[in-house]
């Protein structure tokens, strides 16, 4: 299990990585559905905190495997088996998401998470045997992950409420500090194009989940509305918004955002908010439909905020980590201002329609003003 070449040409996601991502579709779908039910019933605090906790486990387990794979993927039989064990852990965790939301019982999600992380420990220990100069880093990863799993098991002994939330925040901060602890002296190699492709593929998963959940909600509501006009409008606008988010996300050259260890941490950690917001967008659309069909007592303004807040978080997150340094002054004004306007537009008469129009305007600006070409890339292009 030798370290991979970070400059390997044409490095792309493997079939195993694509297969691995499929189980996360299940977990993201269940978490989004539970968030929808909580928001629709007005249980904002519990719903959002439960969603944030569950999505952290989904995101962190996926991200750790992705960064390990870019460094040590061998795709041999043992690597495949260990990866499939991790997939089993994801499915176990997904099975416990409803109980976590409804009863605050995180037992099954923690068990599934620990299964994933123990498999990851085995991967790091295997890599340490032939990592050479990176042996100490790989062992620090294994030791750090193992220590934090003990904390997550102890987490189950903490009663629900503020104390449990505080413990989660502390343990999560320790968890995300492991890469800093492991790589502060020598960094494991990462392939910038491979990594950013993997993030792009996961973004497609969460955006696809938004389309699927929205479509299912619209189909279920067809027999419950007197007029199809509002339902058709929501379906069209959901497609326009999702397509716009896709366009905006893939506008910048993401590989430029992870040129150093510190920048890669910023890129990876900020994606927690980008991914969570993209998955939460579908929950907001379903809340809007619930209000339309009389299944929710939320006001139209409150329902609109469940759509616009995730969109604004998504826009600001991707602007901060990928767009900002690759754009001119016009784009760097339009994107963040557009996000703030989207955030505030529920107080206007046609918030969803206005949200879609704002996103279309942002896309038009991005089409007119492409990413700024860097000096070294311009020189390489001329030389070629």
Q: pLDDT per residue over 361-384, tens digit each?
A: 999 999 999 999 875 554 444 344
Beta strand segments in the chain, E: none
Query: 297 pLDDT band (50/70/90 cuts)?
Result: confident
Rounded to whole angstroms, how far apart are CA atoms 147 and 160? 23
Arithmetic mean of pLDDT, 335-343: 94
What is the average per-residue pLDDT within 37-46?
92
Distance separating alpha carbons of residues 168 and 170, to the nearest angstrom:
5
pLDDT of 2 higher than 90: no
- Rounded to an integer, what distance in angstroms lies between the CA atom of residue 21 and that of residue 83? 11
pLDDT at 197 over 60: yes
Mean pLDDT within 238-265 = 94
Residue 136 has pLDDT above 60, yes or no: yes
| pLDDT of 242 over the 50 cut | yes
Arithmetic mean of pLDDT over the chain: 91
Rounded CA gap, 6 and 17, in Å? 17
Mean pLDDT within 181-205: 92
- Residue by residue, DSSP assigns 188-248 as PP--HHHHHHHHHHHHHHHHHHHHHHHHHHHHHHTTT-S-SHHHHHHHHHHHHHHHHHHHH
With a cut of 60, say whether residue 243 has pLDDT above it: yes
Residue 231 vs residue 255, higher pLDDT: 255
Q: In sequence order, which residues have a C-beta less than 8 Å from that of residue 340 and are 6 or more positions away?
A: 312
Which token pair is 69? 């794979």
Angle between helices 77-95 and 15-40 (to 10 degrees): 10
**What value does the mean pLDDT take over residues 126-137?**
91
- Residue 206 in this model has a pLDDT that exceeds 70: yes
Closest Cα to residue 56, out of 198, 206, 195, 172?
172
Residue 116 confidence (pLDDT) above 90: yes
At 73 the pLDDT is 92
pLDDT digits (tens, 9 = 90+) for 76-88: 999 999 999 999 9
Q: pLDDT digit string (tens) for 9-37?
A: 988 899 999 999 999 999 999 999 999 99
Using DSSP, state whether 261 is helix, strand or coil.
helix
Radius of gyration of the chain (CA): 21
CA–centroid distance for 28 within its chain: 9
Q: What is the predicted pLDDT for the residue at 382?
A: 39
Q: Is the dihedral of CA 166, 167, 172, 177 positive or negative?
A: positive
78 contacts 123 by C-beta, under 8 angstroms? no
């Amino acid at each position: 299990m030798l370290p991979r070449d970070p400059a390997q040409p044409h490095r792309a996601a493997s079939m195993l990585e694509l297969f691995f991502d499929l189980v996360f579709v299940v977990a993201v779908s269940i978490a989004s559905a539970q968030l929808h039910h909580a928001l629709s019933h007005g249980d904002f605090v519990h719903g959002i905190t439960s969603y944030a906790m569950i999505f952290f486990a989904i995101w962190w387990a996926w991200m750790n495997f992705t960064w390990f794979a870019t460094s040590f993927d061998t795709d041999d039989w043992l690597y495949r088996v260990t990866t499939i064990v991790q997939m089993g852990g994801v499915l176990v965790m997904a099975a416990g998401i409803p109980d976590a939301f409804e009863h605050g019982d995180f037992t099954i999600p923690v068990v599934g998470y620990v299964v994933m992380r123990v498999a990851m420990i085995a991967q790091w220990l295997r890599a340490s045997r032939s990592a050479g100069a990176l042996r100490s880093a790989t062992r620090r990863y294994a030791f750090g992950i193992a220590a934090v799993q003990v904390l997550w098991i102890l987490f189950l002994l903490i009663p629900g409420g503020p104390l449990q939330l505080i413990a989660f925040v502390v343990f999560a901060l320790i968890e995300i500090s492991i890469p800093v602890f492991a790589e502060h002296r020598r960094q494991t190699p990462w392939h910038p194009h491979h990594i950013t492709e993997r993030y792009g593929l996961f973004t497609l998963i969460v955006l696809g989940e938004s389309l699927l959940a929205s479509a299912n909600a619209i189909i279920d509501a067809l027999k419950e509305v007197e007029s199809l006009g509002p339902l058709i409008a929501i379906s069209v606008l959901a497609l326009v918004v999702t397509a716009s988010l896709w366009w905006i996300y893939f506008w910048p050259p993401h590989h430029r955002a992870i040129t150093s260890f510190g920048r890669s941490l910023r890129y990876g950690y900020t994606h927690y908010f980008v991914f969570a917001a993209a998955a939460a967008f579908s929950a907001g659309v379903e809340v809007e439909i619930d209000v339309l069909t009389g299944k929710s007592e939320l006001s139209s303004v409150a329902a609109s905020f469940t759509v616009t807040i995730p969109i604004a978080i998504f826009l600001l997150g991707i602007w901060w980590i990928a767009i900002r340094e690759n754009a001119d002054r016009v784009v760097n004004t339009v994107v963040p201002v557009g996000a703030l306007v989207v955030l505030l537009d529920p107080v206007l008469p046609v918030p969803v329609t206005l949200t879609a129009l704002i996103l279309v305007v942002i896309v038009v600006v991005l089409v007119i003003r492409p990413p700024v070409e860097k000096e070294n890339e311009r020189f390489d292009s001329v030389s070629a």
